[in-house]
Amino acid sequence: MSEVQPKDAGELGQTLGQQRVILMDEAEGRAIIEYRCGMHMCHSGGVAQGGFVTAWIDAAMAHAVIAAIGAAYVPMSLEVKISFFRPAAPGLVRAEGWIEQKGRSTVFTEGRLMDEKGNILAKGTSTIRLVPREKFA
């Protein structure tokens, strides 16, 4: 299990309000990341904008792939689908991602976002293409 604090999360993680990576499980292909939703991420008096909800779940699904395959490949989202069940409000939220099925170059993942009480706020699926890291060098 690895834990990343906000200062170590990089600019993207900081923008998304990443607090810590709770779990990166290589054997299970699973990741859990905690985010802090701030009012600056909200509209309509305290409802997190859907792009942040999508990004939190997408990041967790990508981290699940990274946990399982390591750093040799970059997970590139080909498709992301998110279903919103309840509004996310300011405070801590937890995004979970896991691998449903993995091929040689394509991975199918699922994820969800929960509030501090464990209520499921949104669920998602993603089709991820594994691109060799050297293509980005």
> Does residue 117 have a pLDDT over 90?
yes
pTM: 0.93
> Does residue 58 have a pLDDT over 50?
yes
- CA–CA distance from 106 to each of 8, 66, 74 (Å)? 29, 13, 11
Q: H-helix or E-strand containing 12?
A: helix 10-15
> Does residue 11 have a pLDDT over 50?
yes
Query: What domains can you pick out in the chain, each with its CATH number?
Result: 6-136 (3.10.129.10)
Predicted confidence at residue 137, as pLDDT, reads 77
Cβ count within 10 A of residue 28: 13
> Does residue 1 have a pLDDT over 50?
no
The tens digit of pLDDT for each residue in 60-72 reads: 999 999 999 998 9
Calculate the CA 41 to chain-centre distance: 16
Select from 13, 19, 95, 25 the least CA-distant residue to 64.
Answer: 25
Predicted confidence at residue 42, as pLDDT, reads 97
Average pLDDT over residues 34-56: 96
- The band of 5, judged by pLDDT with boundaries at 50, 70 and 90, is low
The tens digit of pLDDT for each residue in 72-107 reads: 999 999 999 999 999 999 999 999 999 999 999 999
